[in-house]
Structure 1
Amino acid sequence: MPSAYAYVRYSSTVQSSGDSVDRQTSPLKAFTHETGVDVVETIIDEGVSSFRGDNANKGKFKEVLSRIDRGIIRHGDYLVVESIDRITRQRVLDGVELLQSILKKGVRIYTTTDSRCYSYDDPDRDFETLIMISLIAKRANEESEIKSRRRKSAWNKAKLAAAENGKKFNAHNPPYGYRYDGVTDQFVIVEDEASEIREIFKLLKTMGVSNATRQVNLNSKRKWTSRHVALMIENKYPLGMLMSQKRNEKKEKVFIEYIEEYYPKIISQTSFNDAVSSMRSRKDRKYYGNTTIGSTNIFRHVIKCAVCGETMMFEKQKNQKGVMYPYFHCFTRKELKGQCDQRFRFDLAFGMLLQAMLVMQSNVPSGIRRGRIELNKEEIKRWAEIKQQASSFDGYIFRRFKVNPDELSKRRNGMAVFGNDLNSFLSDDKTSQEALGGELAAATEVLAGLRAKYENFEKSIDGYEGKIPMFIIKNMGNLEAAIDEQIVLVDKLSSEYGSSVTDIKLTTYEDVVERFRTEQGRLELNQFFKASGIQFKFKYDRTARGIHMWVSRSGQEILSLSRKFPFHKPLADFGIPRLADLYEQI
């Protein structure tokens, strides 16, 4: 007994909300009544075209063809369709070849619109069958060609209207973060969705796409994926742009141009550039070091051994009592088997960072930085032996800086960046500094926008296949001149503002502790050190149980501190009984 398999296809989302499926399935009862064959399965291809053979290449119909090849749909079974054009709208030779391949396997094709059955089992009707399927395939292909040309023409007109006067043409399907307002004929920002997009770009400055989407998805309306982020960066719609494309001869999408100011901006060009730049730098990373769970290691890529100059590696190990602690050890100690014996707990490095913040808050003269250590007589003697450049006095270790004007100026600038991006502890003129910082940010945003426009024109040139319109050449020339002028302005403002490169503000040691409480804060601290060119060097002396720290910025030493911490609860002076209580909250 033969079986029948109904195949239903529609190619657009508009048809899905209409009667396309009902229209194609309602005649199935009549087919069964006429032939006596039951329809055992209805296979639906949703939103798949047969014009280019998509249904046979990647749609549900591909599985139908596979089942015919494997004999699951057998000789004598029926493939029931509304019309031949449900199976194919390809050019005649391709369409007829596809239909013949089905018929030659003994599967009959039944069309409900005209109650006609096409079969390979009746050789006397071969010519009639060939003529009929050829004529129907030809008509279907021509209809699709006409529709395609009309759609292309309408699409091109709509894109031209959008580029010239901002006319909206995709009101029914705006991207995430926007909705269409029919009264004003404009797109408006959906704030709760836009806040997710802003958060993603903020997170991308300090973490990878997977971690960023994981964190945003904790409270988001949609479930973000890496693909969502990649498409958002490619089409640049959060910048207010509409990406215009066309299909080439191979039916591949080819970029034409970005239509600017089509949507309202969700993020600034600077934020977009910073996120993309950070992603690229992580991709091309040449640093040596480990990624830590929870990003505990805020010194990642910025810490060196003061004894041999090699990288300090971060790892977690159990002490003699079985308690897990994070440690730093010199690269040569582990990899080269003991050439350098430097190894100390992470808590001590973090404590020295907090001590540095205390020092910069203090009123110690600009040429001197100091740190207090508690020493017994034997330890004082030991420190005198290992630190000849230092002198001991009442439990203090002093390190004197050269105080010639140039050197002092460099140290002031360096420490200002380390402690506060607006020179908070060396300058009282914060208002003018903040105003200047605002000017610099605005000028940098303008420059980023000009460069983005120029890059968009460069990218669109490929789409014109060598025939570059004169208006593009003219606009690129004007942009080059504008970019040069803006670079001069940005350089001038940068020189006046100082060399701050990040918006993180660290004024007190409490600021550091507060940021260290969250993974995002720890990532921001590490990003701040790297962006600011900050490098730390540590030397630990086991006998005296003291640690020395040198801080430099862009190769210029700005701070030197020495201190001894208690063996138990080393950070108690900073109100931290146990550092792990902060980073183990994750």
Structure 2
Amino acid sequence: MPNAYAYVRYSSTVQSSGDSVDRQISPLKAFTLETGVEVVETIIDEGVSSFRGDNANKGKFKEILARIDRGVIRSGDYLVVESIDRITRQRVLDGVELLQGILKNGVKIYTTIDLRCYSYEDPAKDFENLIMISLIAKRANEESEIKSKRRKSAWNKAKLAASESGKKFNVHNPPYGYCYDAETDKFVIVEEEASEIRMIFELLKTMGVSNATRRVNTNSKRKWTGRQVSLMIESKYPLGMLMSQKRNENGKKIFIEYIEDYYPKIITQTAFNEAVVSMRNRKDRKHYGNTTIGSTNIFRHVIKCADCGETMMFEKQTNQKGILYPYFNCFTRKELKGQCDQRFRFDLAFGMLLHAMQAITPEPRSVIRRFTYTMNEAERKRWVEVREAQSPTQGITYKKFQTDPKERSERRAGMDVFGNDLNSFLADDKNLQETLGKELAAASEILAGLKGTYENYEKSVAGLDGNIPKIIVNNMNKLEVDIDNQSELVDKLSGEYGASVTEIKLTTYEDVIERFSTEKGRLELNQFFKSSGIQFKFRYDKVARGLHMWVSRKGQEILSVSGKFPLHKPLARFGIQRLADLYEQI
């Protein structure tokens, strides 16, 4: 006994609220009465066009074709539609090919509008069926072509009006973060939604898209995806812009221009640029060390192997007792299988950072505590060998400059910078600092806006195939001058603001531990290292079980530290019984 499958399609949201669906479904009972075949399933394609074959390429109709190919919809079954144009409105040859493929599989097509059945069973009707299908497909395609041209014309006029006078035309479907106020004829910000967008851009400065969306989705109104973030960045709508596009002859959307000030701004140009630059840097990275859950790896992108110069890779591994620990592996050891044997626990690297901070903090000698450990004779001999060229003072080694006091002074100054409180600043004149800070922020925002506008022009020019209007050339030339002048102002204000700020020294290594105890603090530590040009190099000596750390700032080595830690509870001397307790509280 054959089965019947009804296919219902409408191409716009307006049709969904009208009688389109009811009109297509209501004749199904009459079909069953006439043929005696039960409609076992009604398949609805919502808001999908058949003009360019979208329903067959990505809609529910694609699933129907797949089920026919697999034999789920069998030879002798019926595909019931209102009319042939529900299946296809493509060009005649494409539409006929699609329909013939269905018929050749033995599936009959029944149209309720004219009570006609198309079948591959009777060769005598091939010519008649071909003529009828072709005529209906031709008429449907011509109707869709006319509608498409009318929509394009209306759309182009609406976009032109939006560009020239700011007239709103997408009031029924504004992007996430906005709603339309009919009384003022303006888009307004929906703060609940806009706060999610601001949070995403803030998170993108320090983490990837997947981690950022995961964080926002814990309390968000919508569930964000990476694609939604990408489209938001490409369209630039949080900056108040409308991205104008058109379809080429292949139906593919191509960029035309950005219409500025179409929406109110949700974020600043500076915040947008900082997030995009951070994403670009991560995408084009030459380092290893992914952001971990809880952002544990504070050395991300700033750690190297002292033996071979390659990046150290961060990962969690299980030790011989089955306990999970974070480790650093040299890139060549991990990826090139054995060219370098450097591997050590993350705890030890963090311990060396604390040891360095303790050593450069101005404490009385009686307060400074030394490492305590027990070594066998072989370890002691090796440890003496690796420490021979180093100063015995608290494991700190200063490179010896015998003839250049200036370079020695610069090295000491670099250490002072390393020991500064990483994020705390006080002003000698708070009013002056506050004023300069506001002026710098405002000037930076103007500069970012100018650069953003210039980038928009560049993108528009790229699509003009060399035929660039004179007004665009003039505007770009003026923007270049404005950008240069604004850059000078930002540089000047940056210098004045920097001079108004006094850095506070880090009091103790406990402050570093306190920052590490929160994910925000860990991200700030890592961001400080990267922005300040600080880089760490490590070498682990297996025989002596000692770790050596070199710290450089903008290419200038500022200190080196050597230390040996107990096998169990290596950070106990810093009051840390188990480092994981600090970063697993998430």
- For this structure pair, what is the TM-score category when the shorter chain's length is used for normalisation? 0.7 to 0.9
Query: Map of 1:516-535 to 2, 5 A cutoff?
Result: 516-535=516-535
Letter paired with 2:64: V
- Aligned twin of 1:372: 368
Query: Map of 1:19-58 to 2, 5 A cutoff?
Result: 19-58=19-58
State whether residues 384 and 391 of structure 1, in contact with CA within 8 Å, keep that contact through their aligned partners in structure 2: no
- Aligned twin of 1:13: 13
- 1-structure distance, mates of 2:469, 2:243: 19
CA 36–435 in structure 1, closer or farther in 2 if over 3 Å, else same = same
CA 40–350 in structure 1, closer or farther in 2 if over 3 Å, else same = closer
SS at structure 2 position matched to 1:89:
coil
State whether residues 417 and 423 of structure 1, in contact with CA within 8 Å, keep that contact through their aligned partners in structure 2: no
1:563-583 per-position Cα deviation (integer Å, ceiling 9, x unaligned):
888888665675544433212
- Aligned twin of 1:415: 416
- Aligned twin of 1:162: 162
- 2-structure distance, mates of 1:197, 1:521: 22
SS at structure 1 position matched to 2:207:
coil
Letter paired with 2:467: K
State whether residues 360 and 415 of structure 2, in contact with CA within 8 Å, keep that contact through their aligned partners in structure 1: no
Query: Map of 1:123-138 to 2, 5 A cutoff?
Result: 129-138=129-138
State whether residues 4 and 41 of structure 1, in contact with CA within 8 Å, keep that contact through their aligned partners in structure 2: yes
Q: CA deviation at 1:314?
A: 5.8
Consecutive unaligned residues in structure 1, runs of 5 or more = none
SS at structure 2 position matched to 1:196:
helix
1:34-89 per-position Cα deviation (integer Å, ceiling 9, x unaligned):
33333233222222211122223333333434555566555554432212221222
Deviates more, 1:523-532 or 1:241-250: 523-532
SS at structure 2 position matched to 1:449:
helix
Letter paired with 1:250: N
Q: CA deviation at 1:388?
A: 6.4
1:235-261 per-position Cα deviation (integer Å, ceiling 9, x unaligned):
222222221111101111111111222
Deviates more, 1:42-51 or 1:282-291: 282-291
State whether residues 440 and 493 of structure 2, in contact with CA within 8 Å, keep that contact through their aligned partners in structure 1: yes
1:297-319 per-position Cα deviation (integer Å, ceiling 9, x unaligned):
32234345778877667676788
CA 561–103 in structure 1, closer or farther in 2 if over 3 Å, else same = closer
CA 201–2 in structure 1, closer or farther in 2 if over 3 Å, else same = same
1:505-558 per-position Cα deviation (integer Å, ceiling 9, x unaligned):
977645432331234432332232022101235688999999876543112345
- 2-structure distance, mates of 1:67, 1:346: 54
Letter paired with 2:219: N
2:223 matches 1:223: yes
1:272-324 per-position Cα deviation (integer Å, ceiling 9, x unaligned):
22222222222222225576664433223434577887766767678899876
- Aligned twin of 2:378: none
State whether residues 370 and 562 of structure 1, in contact with CA within 8 Å, keep that contact through their aligned partners in structure 2: no
CA 186–108 in structure 1, closer or farther in 2 if over 3 Å, else same = same
CA 90–206 in structure 1, closer or farther in 2 if over 3 Å, else same = same
State whether residues 80 and 109 of structure 1, in contact with CA within 8 Å, keep that contact through their aligned partners in structure 2: yes
State whether residues 424 and 504 of structure 2, in contact with CA within 8 Å, keep that contact through their aligned partners in structure 1: no
State whether residues 390 and 397 of structure 2, in contact with CA within 8 Å, keep that contact through their aligned partners in structure 1: no
CA 62–292 in structure 1, closer or farther in 2 if over 3 Å, else same = closer
CA 252–77 in structure 1, closer or farther in 2 if over 3 Å, else same = same
Root-mean-square deviation (Å): 4.6
State whether residues 373 and 562 of structure 1, in contact with CA within 8 Å, keep that contact through their aligned partners in structure 2: no
Query: Map of 1:85-96 to 2, 5 A cutoff?
Result: 85-96=85-96
CA 371–530 in structure 1, closer or farther in 2 if over 3 Å, else same = farther
- Aligned twin of 2:182: 182
SS at structure 2 position matched to 1:464:
coil
State whether residues 312 and 331 of structure 1, in contact with CA within 8 Å, keep that contact through their aligned partners in structure 2: yes
Query: Map of 1:168-567 to 2, 5 A cutoff?
Result: 168-287=168-287, 294-303=294-303, 346-347=346-347, 349-354=349-354, 362=362, 372-374=368-370, 386=387, 390=391, 408=409, 412=413, 415-416=416-417, 419-420=420-421, 424=425, 428-429=428-429, 432-433=432-433, 435-498=435-498, 509-537=509-537, 551-558=551-558
Q: CA deviation at 1:385?
A: 10
- 1-structure distance, mates of 2:412, 2:305: 22
CA 299–422 in structure 1, closer or farther in 2 if over 3 Å, else same = closer
State whether residues 373 and 396 of structure 1, in contact with CA within 8 Å, keep that contact through their aligned partners in structure 2: no
- 2-structure distance, mates of 1:222, 1:528: 33
State whether residues 237 and 263 of structure 2, in contact with CA within 8 Å, keep that contact through their aligned partners in structure 1: yes
Letter paired with 1:151: R
SS at structure 1 position matched to 2:187:
strand
Q: CA deviation at 1:122?
A: 5.8
- 2-structure distance, mates of 1:350, 1:66: 57
Aligned residue pairs total 575
Q: CA deviation at 1:420?
A: 4.3
- 1-structure distance, mates of 2:70, 2:347: 66
Letter paired with 1:415: D
SS at structure 2 position matched to 1:444:
helix
1:149-199 per-position Cα deviation (integer Å, ceiling 9, x unaligned):
111111111111222222222222222222222222222222232222222
- 2-structure distance, mates of 1:135, 1:332: 67
SS at structure 1 position matched to 2:463:
helix
State whether residues 50 and 90 of structure 1, in contact with CA within 8 Å, keep that contact through their aligned partners in structure 2: yes
Letter paired with 1:109: I
CA 128–227 in structure 1, closer or farther in 2 if over 3 Å, else same = same
Consecutive unaligned residues in structure 2, runs of 5 or more = 376-380
Deviates more, 1:486-495 or 1:146-155: 486-495
Q: CA deviation at 1:130?
A: 4.5
- Aligned twin of 2:139: 139
1:345-366 per-position Cα deviation (integer Å, ceiling 9, x unaligned):
65454345446556776489xx
For normalisation by structure 2, the TM-score amounts to 0.81
Deviates more, 1:155-164 or 1:349-358: 349-358
Letter paired with 2:526: N
Q: CA deviation at 1:3?
A: 3.8
- 2-structure distance, mates of 1:136, 1:504: 80
Letter paired with 1:115: L
CA 191–512 in structure 1, closer or farther in 2 if over 3 Å, else same = farther
- 2-structure distance, mates of 1:322, 1:439: 56
SS at structure 1 position matched to 2:263:
coil
- 2-structure distance, mates of 1:66, 1:548: 62
- 1-structure distance, mates of 2:168, 2:89: 31
- 2-structure distance, mates of 1:264, 1:504: 39
State whether residues 391 and 397 of structure 2, in contact with CA within 8 Å, keep that contact through their aligned partners in structure 1: yes
- 2-structure distance, mates of 1:520, 1:445: 25
Letter paired with 2:585: Q
